[in-house]
Every structure is written in structure tokens, then in C-alpha cells.
Amino acid sequence: MPQKILVTGASSGFGKLAVSRLLGRGHKVAAAMRGVGGRNSAAAGELAGQGALVVEMDVCDGGSVDAGVARAIEEFGGLDAVVNNAGQGVVGVQESFTPEDWQRIFDVNVFGVQRVVRAVLPHMRGKRSGLLVQISSVLGRIAVPFYGPYIASKWALEAMSENYRVELSRFGVDVVVVEPGGFLTAFLGNLMQPGDHTRDGSLAGMPREARDFLQGFEQALAANPAQDPGNVADAIVGLIEAPAGQRPFRTIVDKMGMGDAIQPYNEHFEKISSDLYSAFGIGHLRQLQTQA
């Protein structure tokens, strides 16, 4: 049956692709983005032409989030799923990112998700059904240099999602995490740079290494057509259309080899978490799900 879905960060990348795929499957979709009448007007017009309800939303503004969610619920008569896709990446030496830089990243990638979730949960809990699709990253499971604040924010998102998974299971609300690898989308072209370059000369060439690392990664992505951003959109569609209560908690989407390395870690972590819950006598709070 057609579902009613809100997708944040829908102006480009995974979000825009997911909106198009979902509309093509007959779902009702609210495409949330900033700058509907400004910088993202072209994307807004394109998605509206496909049948999307375009919603102005800045995930860093609580009032904007509340208004956008309320509009989607009113226009559709409810919401069945939310895809928390809006995000910001970085590249650079971790030391050179100022506390203000870190606040900006977390405001989008962590606090922005919390704002959206808090806005939609009273509705989902009230009808005792719903789905939160959290777009994380394979870098939410491992750490590599030169993406420090982004990685930290995705680790935080993973922890947030683990807790929501448990706390919302009694209300019939599913929580799932999608962990994409790197993809050639507009996301890579909008990476935030460090706010402080005064230390570059004392960092033993690492700022240059960070730039070279990114360039090499982009070249590797370009050489691997199997690493198609559409794979992520398809994974999102598959999770939304899967039966409630039977969706895998974590879904890795990657054709660069990282997924093969991380999957066993995810499976082992699942067992550790389950064992700890049982040891603390709260195993009944955990809704166990099969790994993707």
C-alpha cells in the first residue's frame, strides 16, 4: 500500500534520489529542504513536477522543523515514515576544526535529527506505528583520518538510533540505520573545511595529505561504476516497503569493500548488545532484528 513519507535533505544526493524512487513506487512523499524559493528552487520544482509535496525545512531550526512536519502530516493526513537524510560532511585535519565548526556539524547531523524525530514521534506513538530511517555512514562504525567531526557525529547518530530502537519498540515504531560508503554526489562537493588554518605550517604536511586523500578517494569512486548512489535510494525504498517489525536494524550499502569488512563487526556488536541487555535483566526491552 502507498505510504506517507517525509525525506529531509531532499534537494540533492541520496535524498533527492530516494524521493524520486519512492514517488515512482506510488508513495506520497514530502521532500524537505532549505531554500525552496531560493538556491534549491530548481530541485524543488523538479520534485514537485514528479508529484512530491515540497516542504521548506531547516533542520537546524526547531520552528522550521515543527512547521515542516506539521504541514506534511496535515497535507497527507499522517506520516508513516521519516528518512533523516540531511547531513554535512567535512575534510581536514581534526585539530584545525574549531569548536564552532564542531557545533555546526553536530547541529545538522545529530541535533537536526533529534529535532525531526521529536517533531514526528508524538504522531507515530499516537497511532502506534511508524518508521525512522536514519542515514548514517560506514564511517559511523570506524574512524579514518581527515573526517574527524563528521565521523564523531555519525558515531553519535548510531548511538542515538540504538536507544530509539529500544525505547520506541513498545510503540510499534521501527528504527533502522542505513550505512552508505562513499559516493560521488553533491555531498562530496560541499565538504566543510577547517575554520582555523593558522596551524597548517606546524602540522607536518597533514593538510596537504587530507586534500590528496580526498582526491584519491574521488578518483577511486569514479573508477567504480558499481558504486552507484541509486543503490542507497533503493535500500531506503526496500526498508520502507519491508514488513513492520521485520526490517534489519543496520543496512550497509557499499561496493568498495568497506561493507564486507564492517558487516562481521555489526553482527558481533549485535550479539554483544543482546548479551549485555540479558545480563542486566532488560532483554525484554530490546527488539532483536536480523542483520542485513
Concatenated DSSP letters for the chain? ---EEEESSTTSHHHHHHHHHHHHTT-EEEEEES-TTTTTHHHHHHHHHTT-EEEE--TT-HHHHHHHHHHHHHHHTS-SEEEE-----B-S-GGGS-HHHHHHHHIIIIIHHHHHHHHHHHHHHHHT-EEEEEE--GGGTS--TT-HHHHHHHHHHHHHHHHHHHHHHTTTEEEEEEEE----SHHHHTPBPPS--TTGGGSTTHHHHHHHHHHHHHHHHHT-TT--THHHHHHHHHHHHSPTT-S-SEEEE-SSSHHHHHHHHHHHHHHHHHHHHHHTT-GGG-------
Contact 52, 29 (CB under 8 A): yes
Contact 233, 24 (CB under 8 A): no
- Model confidence at 77: pLDDT above 60: yes
pLDDT confidence of residue 277:
93
- Mean pLDDT for 141-155 is 97
- Model confidence at 285: pLDDT above 90: no
Which CATH number goes with the domain that contains 154?
3.40.50.720
- Mean pLDDT for 241-248 is 96
Residue 234's Cβ-count burial label (10 Å; 0-12, 13-18, 19+) is middle
- Mean pLDDT for 201-205 is 97
pLDDT confidence of residue 189:
85
The boundaries of the domain holding residue 236 are 4-87+108-187+229-285
**If you compute the radius of gyration of the chain from its CA atoms, what whole number of angstroms results?**
19
Percent of the chain with pLDDT over 70: 98
pLDDT confidence of residue 165:
96
- Per the domain annotation, does 215 fall within a domain? no
Residue type, 150: Y
- Per the domain annotation, does 247 fall within a domain? yes
For 171, the grid coordinates are 510503540
- Model confidence at 292: pLDDT above 50: no
- Model confidence at 291: pLDDT above 50: no
- Tell me which residue has cell 549485535: 270
Contact 135, 178 (CB under 8 A): yes
Alpha carbons 232 and 229: distance in angstroms, whole number:
6
- What pTM did the predictor assign? 0.95
pLDDT confidence of residue 287:
56
- Per the domain annotation, does 117 fall within a domain? yes
- Mean pLDDT for 110-120 is 98
Beta-carbon neighbour count of residue 56 at 10 Å?
17
Residue type, 169: S
Domain count, the chain: 1
- Mean pLDDT for 10-16 is 97
- Per the domain annotation, does 192 fall within a domain? no
pLDDT confidence of residue 186:
87
- Mean pLDDT for 121-147 is 97
- Per the domain annotation, does 144 fall within a domain? yes
Alpha carbons 226 and 229: distance in angstroms, whole number:
9
Between CA 235 and CA 63, with CA 36 as vertex, the angle to 5 degrees is: 90
**Terminal Cα distance for the chain, rounded:** 23
- Model confidence at 79: pLDDT above 50: yes
147, 150, 265, 277: the catalytic one is 150
- Per the domain annotation, does 141 fall within a domain? yes
- Per the domain annotation, does 203 fall within a domain? no
Active site residue 147: no
Average pLDDT in the chain: 95
- Per the domain annotation, does 60 fall within a domain? yes
Percent of the chain with pLDDT over 90: 93
Residues in the chain: 292
